[in-house]
Amino acid sequence: MRPDAVRGHLDGLILAVLEAGPRHGYAIIEALQLRSDGALDLPTGTVYPALRRLERAALLAGAWSTVGGRERRTYTLTRAGKHALAQQRTEWTEFSAVVDAVLRPA
């Protein structure tokens, strides 16, 4: 999948993988690759600024904590983040239904 195609949806994808519980940056990248069966082929360096953007918007809460004996920055979905994720899912369902209807062979 082209990185450009993913970029506009990266925020929603990150919110979705954090729905199951808090994760640190690399664990989020692994979860994105795992849930997409490796199809999400964007530079991993794009994930870290996206996490800070979501944190700035109070959709994620980030904090340094010790994981596996190392200091890592862990992110948790906030209530506003859960709301944004639900909204993103609704928008995506509506959008994909419209595109699917138009693209489907007549």
Partner 1 sequence: MTDLLDTHVSELARRLRGPGRVRRSMLTETRDGLSDAAAAYRDGGLPAEEAAARAVSDFGPAAELAPLYQEELTARQGRRTALVLAVVFPAVVLGWDLLWKGGIGWRSPSVPVLASLVHLQDAVSWSVGALGLAMLALSFHRRVPPRHLAVTAGVVGAAGAMLAGGAAALMIFGFGPGNSDLVVTDPVAPVAYGCSAAAVVVILWSVTRTARVVARGDRVARERA
Smaller CB separation from partner 1, 83 or 97: 83
Residue with tokens 């944004």: 84
State the residues that interact with partner 1 by CB under 8 A: 11, 24-26, 29-30, 43-50, 52-54, 56-59, 64, 70-73
Task: Output the CA torsion 63→56→45→2 (10° steps).
Answer: 130
Name the helix (H) or strand (E) containing 90. Answer: helix 79-103
Smaller CB separation from partner 1, 30 or 91: 30
Smaller CB separation from partner 1, 8 or 105: 8
